[in-house]
């Protein structure tokens, strides 16, 4: 049976947050702000966010929202994200958040409903994103019977739990590879195995990205060949922006700066040690980046791991030039002292990595199958 959401739940907005650190304390009731949603959805305990005392709550006339209230952002850029969170305990809530308080025990059912039918679909103007409480109330929900709802929640929760376990398994594979690297090569700065150290220029060719005069604003198009600037290197991976790209013609003119599969691209500004291995063709080294191409004695992966190693990053920070922002150049990077272990040790490490990557690939396939099952059930229940 489909009913209007406003007929089965109270729909309200949170309230203004008290201003000033003095209004928050360690022992009180949590105050959920829009900025907390992402971390709460990802598993941060609500007990670790800011709290307010009963005295402050009384002073600001804060309303206490019940355990089981379903929260999501209703205004500001946060509502574009579509995070859905169910309060695990009573809490105060900021005015940027909408609170759906069901009059029956169906909080988890509504959470899954909103995860499939994202409230941000109700946004009318993405430049000034907001969701009307009236529009939320007019949503039609198939509430089914209590037994059906419990069965749906149970099925989805079990599969969601399995997905989280599989994601953690993939993370453990990455941790295993990192641990093996340290075990076999040691800290690249203290060099406990006393490997030879050589300048990076002996192991790789190094080139700075194009000068700004070679690229102008009118050269940028959407969905062309992506540039890789420091901002596009995140957690050792390249994350391109399809709005910062160039045409085939312009890409052809800049052949000297093409990134090839197996290159390392490194940011030369801002955060030091930020680098990634190139895994796809058609990318261009950006103005703020450096291209590092192995000569074959070590792999691109090895170079990336050394440069991004915490102790090595500190060395880079100390030698970087630039008064307001750290800045690297080719001579500085060429003189990076890199440990050069025997080729047999390298082969042994990458043989281990290959085996772990095979297991990781199999687990990734299982995760994709589980996610497909979850998505198909969501479609069946809420589509």
pLDDT in tens, 205-215: 999 999 877 88
CA angle, corner 214, sides to 208 and 217, nearest 5? 120
Residue 323 pLDDT greater than 60, yes or no: no
pLDDT of the residue at 296: 93
Q: What is the pTM of this model?
A: 0.81
Q: Which of 36-50, 68-82, 252-266, 323-337 has the lowest mean pLDDT?
A: 323-337
Per-residue CA distances from 45 to 38, 64, 260, 316 (Å): 12, 18, 43, 36
Residue 111 pLDDT greater than 60, yes or no: yes
Per-residue CA distances from 346 to 79, 303, 355 (Å): 48, 12, 14
pLDDT band at 267 (very low <50, low <70, confident <90, very high): very high
Q: Is residue 57 within 8 Å of residue 40, measured between CB atoms?
A: no
Residue 91 pLDDT greater than 60, yes or no: yes
- CA trace torsion 307, 312, 317, 320 (10° rounding): -60
Candidates 161, 98, 165, 150; CA nearest to 381 is 150
Token couple for 302: 């090895």
Angle between helices 343-382 and 146-185 (to 10 degrees): 170
pLDDT of the residue at 322: 61
pLDDT of the residue at 127: 83
pLDDT of the residue at 325: 63
- Separation of alpha carbons 108 and 118, rounded Å: 15
Q: How many CB atoms lie within 10 A of CB 53?
A: 15
Total residues found in the chain within this entry = 383
Query: Domain 196-340: which CATH class?
Result: alpha beta
- Separation of alpha carbons 337 and 327, rounded Å: 18
Does the domain at 2-143 match CATH 1.20.120.530? Answer given as no
Specify the DSSP class assigned to residue 64: P
27 phi and psi, to 5 degrees?
A: -120, 100
User: What distance lies between CA 19 and its chain's CA centroid?
Assistant: 29
């Amino acid at each position: 049976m489909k009913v209007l959401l406003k007929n089965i739940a109270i729909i309200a907005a949170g309230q203004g947050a008290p201003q000033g650190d003095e209004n928050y304390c360690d022992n009180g009731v949590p105050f959920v702000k829009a900025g907390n949603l992402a971390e709460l959805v990802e598993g941060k305990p609500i007990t670790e966010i800011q709290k307010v005392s009963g005295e402050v709550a009384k002073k600001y006339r804060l309303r206490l929202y019940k355990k089981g209230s379903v929260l999501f952002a209703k205004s500001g850029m946060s509502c574009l994200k579509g995070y859905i969170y169910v309060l695990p305990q009573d809490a105060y809530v900021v005015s940027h958040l909408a609170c759906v308080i069901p009059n029956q025990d169906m909080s988890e059912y509504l959470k899954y409903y909103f995860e499939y039918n994202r409230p941000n679909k109700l946004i009318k103007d993405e430049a000034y994103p907001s969701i009307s409480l009236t529009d939320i109330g007019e949503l039609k929900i198939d509430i089914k019977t209590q037994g059906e709802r419990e069965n749906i929640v149970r099925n989805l929760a079990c599969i969601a739990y399995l997905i989280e376990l599989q994601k953690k398994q993939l993370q453990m594979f990455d941790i295993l590879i990192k641990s093996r690297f340290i075990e076999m090569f040691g800290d690249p700065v203290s060099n406990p195995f006393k490997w030879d150290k050589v300048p990076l220029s002996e192991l790789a060719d190094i080139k700075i990205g194009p000068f700004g005069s070679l690229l102008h604003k009118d050269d940028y198009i959407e969905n062309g060949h992506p540039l890789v600037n420091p901002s596009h290197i995140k957690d050792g991976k390249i994350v391109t922006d399809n709005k910062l790209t160039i045409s085939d013609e312009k890409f052809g003119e800049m052949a000297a700066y093409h990134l090839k599969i197996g290159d390392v691209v490194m940011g030369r500004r801002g955060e030091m040690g930020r680098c990634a291995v190139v895994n796809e063709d058609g990318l261009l080294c950006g103005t703020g980046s450096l291209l590092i191409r192995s000569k074959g004695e070590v792999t691109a992966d090895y170079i990336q791991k050394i440069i991004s190693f915490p102790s090595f990053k500190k060395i880079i920070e100390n030698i970087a030039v630039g008064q307001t922002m750290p800045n690297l150049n080719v001579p500085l990077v060429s003189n990076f002292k890199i440990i050069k272990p025997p080729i047999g040790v390298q082969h042994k490490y990458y043989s281990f990595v290959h085996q772990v990557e095979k297991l990781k690939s199999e687990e990734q396939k299982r995760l994709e199958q589980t996610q497909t099952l979850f998505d198909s059930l969501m479609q069946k229940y809420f589509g």
